[in-house]
Amino acid sequence: MSEVKENDNSMWFIVGGCIVAMVVVVMFLKGEKSEHLKSGAVAQLQAETFANIEKRHTQNNVTEAQKSGK
């Protein structure tokens, strides 16, 4: 009643294929991570945001003479 063990390498091919696929996906996502920075949209948005903040600060710094209309 001895069973003969067959050398089944198909499981290792599947595991190896999954590992290779994960590495490829990680490399692809790493390359796409900074794609939005190349367009300059982030820098433009920051410039507009800081300009709006500065504009609000200058509007809030009104002197008493300006408030009274003198």
Instruction: Quick: pLDDT tens for 13-66.
Output: 999 999 999 999 999 988 777 766 667 777 888 889 999 888 887 776 666 666
Q: Name the residue with tokens 């001895």.
A: 2
Q: Is the pTM of this model over 0.95?
A: no
Q: Name the residue with tokens 């820098």.
A: 43
Structure tokens, 34: 């900074």
DSSP letters of 12-70?
HHHHHHHHHHHHHHHHHHHHHTTGGGTTSHHHHHHHHHHHHHHHHHHHH---HHHHHT-
